[in-house]
């Protein structure tokens, strides 16, 4: 049963990460992320640790996307010539 819950969480949170990234540049709020999880799986119970993980996603995913965009723009010429 624990492994099933772990798989469910992993699938949900991978989807959540993708959804957050897809919202660039208007990233969702913490409340919107919790609603998204509930819509995807209404039986999943969001724990305090899950809430911390959501906050981490909301902090680091936008920073990562911004850094990728800067690097892509900086090296676009090199990328296009290869």
- Enter the pTM of the model: 0.79
For residue 11, the model assigns a pLDDT of 95
Whole-number Cα distances in Å, 4 to 43, 58, 73 = 13, 26, 41
User: What percentage of the chain exceeds 90 in pLDDT?
Assistant: 65
Q: pLDDT value at position 74? A: 84
Indicate whether 1 pLDDT > 60.
Answer: no
pLDDT at 40 over 50: yes
**What confidence score (pLDDT) does residue 82 get?**
65
User: Distance between CA atoms of 16 and 37, rounded to whole angstroms?
Assistant: 7
Q: Tokens standing for 64? A: 């990562």
């Amino acid at each position: 049963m624990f492994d099933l819950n772990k798989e469910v969480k992993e699938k949900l949170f991978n989807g959540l990460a993708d959804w957050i990234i897809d919202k660039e540049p208007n990233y969702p709020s913490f409340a919107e992320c919790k609603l998204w999880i509930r819509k995807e799986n209404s039986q999943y119970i969001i724990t305090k640790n899950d809430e911390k993980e959501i906050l981490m996603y909301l902090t680091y995913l936008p920073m990562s996307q911004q850094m990728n965009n800067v690097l892509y723009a900086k090296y676009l010429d090199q990328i296009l010539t290869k």
